[in-house]
Amino acid sequence: MALARAFVRFAVVGAIATAIHAAVFAVLIETTRIDPVAATVVAFAVAFAAGFVLNRRWTFGSRAAPAAQLPRYLAAQLAGLALSAAIMHVAVHLQRWSPYAGLALSIALVPPVTFALSRWWVFRN
């Protein structure tokens, strides 16, 4: 049960981080003259920080030094991005499927991988 509860919390944190990313991006685009690429970088950084704090405290209840966990969290998130990009490449360019099929596969396959990395590497007790 603890594993399932942690995975649900991980998914909730992912949804919150996604909402934060979208909100920060929208606020920057609507209220400043910032370039959209720069806005998405800022939005990613804010969402990344929120995801780290929420996963560290709420999802995994870690008490370890955050300075040691932050680089591992970044590596885990970048691994998820790389896996998502690889899935999209295979789906769209090799299989000639719809990008939405690639997106669906990414949504199904990437979170369990990033969860496993987070639970047993980033925030291990």
Q: What is the 3-state secondary structure (H, E, C) of 20-86?
A: HHHHHHHHHHHHCCCCHHHHHHHHHHHHHHHHHHHHHHHHCCCCCCHHHHHHHHHHHHHHHHHHHHH
Taking alpha carbons only, the member of 90, 80, 11 closest to residue 44 is: 80
56 and 108 within one domain: no
Does residue 125 carry a pLDDT above 80? no
Residue 102 has a pLDDT of: 95
Average pLDDT, integer, range 7-36: 97
Residue 1 has a pLDDT of: 83
Cβ within 8 Å of residue 11, ≥6 positions away = 111
83 and 40 within one domain: no
pLDDT digits (tens, 9 = 90+) for 42-84: 999 999 999 999 999 999 999 999 999 999 999 999 999 999 9
125 and 68 within one domain: yes
Residues 56 and 62: beta-carbon distance below 8 Å: yes
101 and 49 within one domain: no
69 and 40 within one domain: no
Q: Which domain holds residue 105?
A: 64-125
50 and 79 within one domain: no
The tally of domains found in the chain comes to 2
Query: Which one of 45, 61, 77 terminates a domain?
Result: 61
124 and 69 within one domain: yes
